[in-house]
Amino acid sequence: MYDEKILTLYNSIIQNHSRAPQNQSPINLITHQAIAINKFCGDEVQLNLKYNQNNFNISDLQLIAKGCSISIASSSIVSTLIIGLSSEKINLTRQIFEKMLDNQNITDTEIMLLGDLIYFQPLSQIQIRKKCSLLIWKSIENIKPLNPIEI
């Protein structure tokens, strides 16, 4: 059988997210967009976003992800986490996620923020695949406003 880290990484929750990613349906209004491509492997993530005009949080989104199961599953999980969160909270979640990948200790409160992202913890031992799980975060770095597009 495979190592513990492989079995943890490719558990059923991650597998399910990679086979059937969340938030794939088109949204009715796109105010912002983000795209990230991993130029080494060709994986792609696109986020079509609708921002709440009052509190500037993401109120709705569509995820379009192509690539390996790690990049698709992490994108799917992140897409479920960021709806309704402030940009500060989103940044904090990313920081905790990266702390986890760097094998640093994280508190129970921080674990709560990570949700199902906790299953990517084995990537701290598989350096080469870390970038797959970070692609969605790279896209979030590059969120740009669009002239609102009504669908």
Partner 1 sequence: MNPNISQIRKDFPILSTIVNEKQLVYLDNAATSQKPIQVINKLTDYYKNTNSNVHRGVHTLSGKATDEFEDVRLKVAKFINAPNYKQMNPIIWTRNTTESINIISMTWANDNLEENDEIVVTAMEHHSNLIPWQRLCKRKKAKLKIFPINNNQELDLKYLDEYINSNTKLVSIVHSSNSMGTINPIKTLIKKAKSVNAKVLIDGAQSVPHMPVDVTDLDCDFLVFSAHKMLGPTGLGILYVKKDILQNLEPHFLGGEMVLDVSYESATWNDIPMKFEAGTPNIADVIAFGSAIDYLNDIGMSKIREHESELTAFALNILDENKYLKNNSTLFGPKNILNRSGVLTFHSDIAHPHDLGTLLDNEGIAVRTGHHCTMPLMKSLGVPATLRASFYIYNTEEEITKFFECYSKSLRFFDNVR
Q: How far is the CB of 92 from partner 1 (least distance, A)?
A: 29
Binding site for partner 1 (CB under 8 A): 2-3, 6, 10, 12, 15, 19, 40-43, 66-70, 126, 128-129, 132
Give me the sign of the Cα torsion angle 60, 135, 17, 20. positive
Smallest gap, in angstroms, from Cβ of residue 14 to partner 1? 10
Nearer of residues 61 and 136 to partner 1, judged by Cβ: 136
Return the number of the residue (19 or 86) whose C-beta is nearest partner 1. 19
Cα(50)–Cα(65) distance, integer angstroms: 18
Tell me the angle at which helices 130-141 and 69-82 cross, rounded to the nearest 10 degrees: 40
Shortest Cβ 132–partner 1 spacing (Å): 7
Are 59 and 51 within 8 A, CB to CB? yes
Q: Which is nearer to partner 1, 41 or 149 (CB)?
A: 41
Identity of residue 68: C
